[in-house]
Structure 1
Amino acid sequence: MSMHRKTITLTEQQDDWVKGQIESGHFGNDSEYIRGLIRRDQQAKERLAMLRQALTEGESSGTPKPLDISAVKAAARKRMKANN
């Protein structure tokens, strides 16, 4: 994977935060920290896209049926007994 050099500008507070993260051992240097932030942002966007897709699928899956909470509880109790 090729690397590209970027120049960013941080406030003093932001720079102190990044330095603190490095000093605490969470990251080796500024670049690792920034790449970590980008990865987390990408993962969050992917999770959001998956959630939206699931909502869309749920909305288009047909007419909703009433929830029988007693049946849900009974099924949960049955699973708990089976696992014990």
Structure 2
Amino acid sequence: MNVSLPEALKAWAESRVAEGRYSSTSDYIRDLMRRDQEDADRIRFLQRKIDEGRASGPSEQTVDEIFADLYAKL
């Protein structure tokens, strides 16, 4: 796969490699893509939890009771 980058982005990627954290610009791009996948997974997980919460309806507990239960679990 070949990717064309504007000069400013190419320079940025090359500067990240020059810092020594990445062995090549390809390594840097792969890391960015892995992180993007992880972020997308986290967002999907959170959205599922939000949807579940909305579908469950209102709670019978007060906010203080909810936090007390949470702290007890920790």
- Select which of 10, 14, 18 maps to 1:15: 10
Aligned residue type for 1:9: S
Greater length-normalized contact order (CA 8 Å, ≥ 6 residues apart): 2
SS of 1:62's equivalent in the other structure is coil
Gaps spanning 5+ residues in structure 2: where?
A: none
* Identical-residue share of aligned pairs (%): 26
TM-aligned CA deviation for residue 22 of structure 1? 0.3
* Structure 1 consecutive aligned stretches of length 4 or more whose deviation exceeds 3 Å: 70-73
Gaps spanning 5+ residues in structure 1: where?
A: 1-5, 80-84
Aligned residue type for 1:32: D
**Which structure has the larger Rg?**
1
Partner of 1:51: 46
- Select which of 31, 37, 42 maps to 1:42: 37
- State how many pairs are aligned: 73
1:28 and 2:18 correspond: no
CA RMSD of aligned residues (A): 2.5
Aligned residue type for 1:10: L
Q: Output the CA distance in 1 between the equivalents of 2:50 and 2:25.
A: 38
Richer in helix (by share): 2
Partner of 1:82: none
TM-score, normalized by length of structure 1? Answer: 0.71
